[in-house]
Chains A and B, each alone.
Chain A
Amino acid sequence: DTAVSQTPKYLVTQMGNDKSIKCEQNLGHDTMYWYKQDSKKFLKIMFSYNNKELIINETVPNRFSPKSPDKAHLNLHINSLELGDSAVYFCASRGPGPNSPLHFGNGTRLTVT
């Protein structure tokens, strides 16, 4: 069973559309994240979320919003998509303890045309 799963794996859409990426983890972790990986492979934190606190990277446009229906899910909603949003988006989760590693999903490749 995949520990952190994302759907869809590929998403192609036009500028101006609104889309969502789903993420589920079956590790029982309390904290989940969204990362964006650009074409140069640079990984940038977008959000950190647990059941108590949402931490937003201040550089993320407010067109991006995380939604967590429960502890095992953290979905990413993107409004009014732009060409520059094209990237691979990774969901991750982390267990308790200071040295707990991040467990990443396999990514969603978003292409905005």
Chain B
Amino acid sequence: QQQVKQSPQSLIVQKGGISIINCAYENTAFDYFPWYQQFPGKGPALLIAIRPDVSEKKEGRFTISFNKSAKQFSLHIMDSQPGDSATYFCAASILGAGNMLTFGGGTRLMVKP
């Protein structure tokens, strides 16, 4: 069963545009929602994360929006750059249960110059 569903699978954005990736989760016990960025040949690396007690978190050009009632959260990349081209994973976990992350299926982002 896929507890975290991510869309779209792939995304092409022009330089300077906004990239939006969406995730939906099923388990209401999840209480930690990170986004990871993965470049080819590398392991994923934490980009930004949010707890369900806030509806939005911003770090530079990256913003997470969180909707607890809808069980959805999204990543917005403002002013997208070619260097942002990577695969992005949303994830969710229960902090009190070993914090084992359940990942979404990933979104391959390409930012065209």
Q: Which residues of B (61-113) have their CB < 8 Å from a CB of A? A: 87, 89, 95-96, 98-103, 105-106, 108
Q: If A41-B87, A43-B89 touch, does A102 touch B101 (CB 8 Å cutoff)? A: yes
Tell whether B54 is near chain A: CB-to-CB under 8 Å: no
Q: Does B18 contact A (CB under 8 A)?
A: no
* Contact-residue size bin, chain B (C-beta under 8 Å from the other chain): 20 to 34
Identity of the chain B residue whose Cβ is nearest the Cβ of A55 in the assembled complex: B98
Number of interface residues of A (CB under 8 A): 24
Cβ contacts under 8 Å, B12 to chain A = none
- Chain A window 1-33, contacts with chain B (Cβ cutoff 8 Å), 1 for yes, 0 for no: 000100000000000000000000000000101
Query: B91: shortest Cβ distance to chain A, in Å?
Result: 8
A92 within 8 A of B: yes
Asked whether any CB of chain B lies closer than 8 Å to the CB of A66, the reply is no
Note all chain A residues with C-beta closer than 8 A to B103.
42-44
Interface majority SS (helix, strand, loop, mixed), chain A:
strand
Of chain A, the residue at the smallest CB distance from B6 is: A42
Known: A33-B100, A99-B49, A101-B49. A42 touches B105 (CB 8 A): yes
User: A90 and B43: CB pair below 8 A?
Assistant: yes
B46 to chain A, nearest CB (A): 4
Give the nearest-CB partner of B87 in chain A.
Answer: A41
Q: Distance (Å) between the CB of A42 and the closest chain B CB?
A: 5
Within 8 Å CB of B96, what residues of A? 98
Residues of B within 8 A of A90 (CB): 43-44
Report the separation of the CA atoms of residues A55 and B99 in the bound assembly, to the nearest whole angstrom.
11
- Asked if B106 and A102 make an inter-chain contact with CB atoms under 8 angstroms apart, the answer reads no
A-binding residues in B (CB < 8 A): 32, 34, 36, 38, 41-46, 49, 51, 87, 89, 95-96, 98-103, 105-106, 108
The 6 closest A-B pairs by CB, nearest first: A104-B43, A101-B46, A43-B103, A98-B95, A41-B106, A48-B100
